[in-house]
Amino acid sequence: MKDLRRKAAQLVSQEEIFRALNYATLKARAGRLTPGEIIRIGKFELVVAEDDVGESVAVQIIEKRSLVEDLAMAKARELGLAPETWQESERIEWMASFFIELRDNLRRWQSIETHQGPGENLTFEKAVYKQTRYDSR
């Protein structure tokens, strides 16, 4: 089951939301977009954001955790698992392990960081550039 969970995480990491984040990062780099600017890619709205100390700029997307859970369950079904037959405790355990796999996969292969929140949401972010003290912003 661990291999299938890993495969589900790999499949989810290739979904439209992460392609949009990668594309928005390229657009932000090419256009030297500044913090606060919004980038629309398909049905997604992404924001260019600055870190707390003003040293780097990233593109972020905030999505409902349930959206990613639905993607995970769909991929689990595609892989031959039957999540609808799982007990609640099995589903919770599988999801917890899935999110660890997804976070690790996104970080390793796409340089995307995953954060909990705000609220029941997940924030995904990818670095655009590090600011230098010579930037005119």
Does some domain include residue 68?
yes
Domain with 77 in it: 2-130
First-last CA distance in the chain: 50
Q: Mean pLDDT across the stretch 35-52?
A: 92
Residue range 108-122, pLDDT digits in tens = 999 999 999 999 999
Does some domain include residue 10?
yes
pLDDT of residue 98: 96
Specify the pTM: 0.88
pLDDT of residue 51: 78
Residue range 50-80, pLDDT digits in tens = 977 778 899 999 999 999 999 999 999 999 9
Q: At what angle do helices 2-12 and 88-110 cross, to 10 degrees?
A: 50
Does some domain include residue 135?
no
Domain CATH for 106: 3.30.1460
pLDDT of residue 1: 67
